[in-house]
């Protein structure tokens, strides 16, 4: 089936790159294909710019001269024999060699050997993710569908290749649920039973917790994370954290609250670009556990120290509430409690204090207090005779607190306040 028009759904800049890669592959007499999720999403008419390419040769050797010729940034992953090219700092294209995989034991990392396109297709998770489109000139745009993936897309079905698929790689349990909910597909009958068995057999224990969690994190990043967790809970799949972690109606409400707050933040013009919402969801999921358990989960998930620290702070909830719940808490006190917290911690506490006095304090911090800046600088104080660095820092800090409590101040008002306070 010719699918030139299928590729044409991609943006022009990407198409230009694919043409260029295809003709370079022709020169090297190498077969080269677009593959996986992007093909699935082209068939579904959904945007996806995660460009994965397989070549029937050594992907790293294929990419090196290509990168040189087009002056693109090249990153090589020798362990996985894959490479990434980044064009114009914008377009990222991942290359791998077609390969065959064998799983020596359930959940183990596969033994990888060179293979054909067919091998590469049949090593994949689901039929809908196992189609390719040729990029070579002779058959440019031809859809390669060796596993009736198109039929499964049409009938909205998620299907594994064989009954031991989830045993080989239990992360596919999470992937099946993620795609089911994202596309509103159904899981094929002959796939349902192996999935159920994989969950019941707790196959995730054969995979490193970090690797399993990487896939779970993708669920936490899905727009319909709530439905994914409902589904996962239905099949008993949430207990991989620990059997005590359950998806309760209260947690579900907290997830919904996160989404309401994100909209509110957008309305308020609060920058959310660096906010890792998945971390907040994880905090909500595990914050009802004792601190030792939270610590243990965090350790097992191989999270970065930075992320671990944020997650563990979910146990500070009571203390934060206490500090923000005092009668007549001053804006500067709120500021001092929250100023060094990450955006994720603040969002978490905002969720947890919904309907209580600290909620308003945190909202005010986000919309007002943290945007207060002094007009007075260190140099101004030096000109006024304060030369000790520590003293300058402490003075500016106190001045800032006064300004936060006062609402607004001009530079003249700041300086006269300093004089009133006997700082100068
Ligand atoms: P998304 O839209 O969420 O990025 P994707 O299918 O592109 O979905 P990736 O995790 O980027 O997801 O994987 C790219 C491709 O690699 C998949 O389409 C699938 O063919 C293959 N793949 C990924 N994970 C597995 C797995 N655990 N087992 C087998 N094949 C996999």
- Whether ligand 1 lies within 6 angstroms of the CB of 201 is answered as no
Check residue 422 and give its pLDDT.
67
Question: Residue 57 and residue 96: Cα distance in Å, rounded?
Answer: 9
CATH superfamily of 1-155: Beta Polymerase, domain 2 (3.30.460.10)
The angle subtended at Cα 6 by Cα 3 and Cα 8, nearest 5°, is 115
Q: Where are the domains of the chain?
A: 1-155, 156-239, 241-371, 378-420
Give, to the nearest 10 degrees, the angle between helix 331-338 and helix 389-406. 120
Asked whether the predicted pLDDT for residue 265 surpasses 50, the reply is yes
> Is the pLDDT assigned to residue 327 strictly greater than 80?
no
Ligand 1 atom closest to the CA of 130, numbered from 1: 20
Q: Taking residues 305-334, what's their average pLDDT?
A: 89
Averaged pLDDT of the chain? 92
Q: Give the pLDDT of residue 424.
A: 56
pLDDT surpasses 80 at 193? yes
CATH class name, domain 156-239: mainly alpha
Confirm or reject: Cβ of 171 under 6 Å from ligand 1: yes
pLDDT value at residue 403:
93
CA of 5 to the centre of ligand 1 (A): 24
Among 93-102, 136-145, 237-246, the least confident range: 237-246
pLDDT computed for residue 2 by the predictor = 46
Euclidean distance between CA atoms 290 and 298, whole angstroms: 12
DSSP 37-54: HHHHHHHHT-----EEEE
* pLDDT attached to residue 241: 73
| Ligand 1 binding pocket includes 99 (Cβ within 6 Å) | no
Report the alpha-carbon distance of residue 37 to residue 41 in Å, rounded. Answer: 6
Residues 365-402 have pLDDT tens digits of 999 999 999 998 888 888 888 888 888 999 999 999 99
Query: Domain 241-371, CATH 1.10.3090.10 — does that match?
Result: yes
Predicted structure pTM score: 0.91
């Amino acid at each position: 089936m010719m699918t030139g028009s299928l590729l044409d759904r991609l943006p022009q800049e990407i198409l230009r790159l694919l043409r260029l890669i295809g003709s370079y592959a022709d020169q090297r007499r190498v077969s080269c294909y677009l593959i996986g999720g992007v093909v699935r999403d082209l068939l579904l008419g959904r945007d996806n710019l995660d460009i994965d390419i397989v070549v029937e040769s050594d992907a790293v050797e294929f990419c090196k001269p290509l990168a040189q010729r087009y002056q693109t940034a090249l990153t090589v992953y020798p362990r996985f024999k894959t490479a990434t090219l980044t064009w114009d700092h914008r377009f990222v294209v991942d290359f791998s060699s077609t390969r065959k995989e064998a799983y020596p034991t359930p959940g183990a990392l596969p033994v990888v050997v060179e293979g054909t396109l067919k091998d590469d297709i049949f090593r994949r998770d689901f039929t809908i993710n196992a189609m390719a489109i040729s990029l070579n000139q002779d058959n440019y745009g031809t859809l390669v569908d060796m596993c009736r993936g198109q039929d499964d897309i049409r009938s909205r079905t998620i299907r594994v290749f064989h009954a031991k698929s989830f045993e080989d790689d239990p992360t596919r349990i999470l992937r099946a649920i993620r795609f089911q909910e994202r596309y509103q597909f159904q899981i094929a009958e002959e796939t349902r039973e192996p999935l159920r068995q994989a969950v019941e057999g707790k196959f995730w224990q054969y995979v490193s917790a970090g690797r399993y969690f990487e896939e779970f994190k993708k669920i936490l990043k899905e727009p319909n994370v709530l439905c994914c967790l409902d589904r996962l809970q239905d099949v008993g799949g949430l207990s991989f954290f620990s059997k005590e972690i359950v998806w309760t109606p209260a947690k579900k409400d907290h997830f919904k609250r996160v989404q309401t707050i994100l909209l509110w933040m957008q309305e308020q013009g609060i920058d959310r670009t660096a906010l890792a919402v998945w971390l907040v969801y994880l905090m909500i999921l595990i914050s009802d556990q004792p601190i030792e358990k939270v610590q243990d989960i965090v350790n097992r998930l191989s999270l970065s120290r930075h992320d671990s620290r944020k997650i563990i702070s979910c146990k500070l909830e009571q203390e934060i509430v206490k500090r923000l719940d005092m009668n007549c808490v001053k804006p500067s006190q709120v500021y001092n409690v929250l100023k060094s917290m990450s955006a994720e911690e603040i969002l978490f506490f905002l969720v947890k204090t919904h309907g209580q006095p600290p909620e308003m304090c945190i909202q005010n911090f986000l919309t007002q207090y943290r945007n207060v800046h002094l007009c007075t600088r260190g140099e101004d104080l030096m000109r006024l005779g304060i030369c000790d660095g520590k003293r300058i820092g402490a003075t500016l800090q106190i001045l800032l607190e006064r300004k936060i409590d006062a609402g607004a101040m001009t530079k003249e008002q700041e300086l006269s306040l300093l004089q009133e306070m006997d700082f100068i």
